Amino acid sequence: MKKEDMVKLISSEGFEFVIDKDAAMVSQTIYNMLTSPGSFSETQHGEVTFPEISTTILEKICKYFYWHLQFASGKETEFHIEPELTLELLMAANYLHT
């Protein structure tokens, strides 16, 4: 994988998740961050820091991105969400416009 095709997402605790750009762009917010004209620091460095999203949630989100790429069109599988994460995940989803 070329470096340009990857993006680094950093959680509030500083954990780094390196995922495919295609996956990250499932989020409309991240999509705009990486494609907006002019050069925001995110576009330049290929990394995004989320000071308000915890590692657990960000991990779940990354999982969702890939699940979405794979299955979103069909309804065969379910994306499992632990009940305790629900609320925070909901917040993050609204934020990321996913």
Question: If binding is defined by CB under 8 A, does position 84 make contact with another protein?
Answer: no
Q: Residue 58: how many CA atoms within 13 Å on its side-chain side?
A: 22
Q: Which x/- pattern, by CB under 8 A, does the window 19-48 give for another protein?
A: ---------xx--xx--xxxxxxxxx---x
- Provide the minimum distance between the beta carbon of 75 and another protein in the complex, in angstroms, as a whole number: 11
The pairing of beta strand 16-20 with beta strand 47-49: unpaired
Question: If binding is defined by CB under 8 A, does position 70 make contact with another protein?
Answer: no
CB 4 within 8 A of CB 46: yes
Question: If binding is defined by CB under 8 A, does position 71 make contact with another protein?
Answer: no
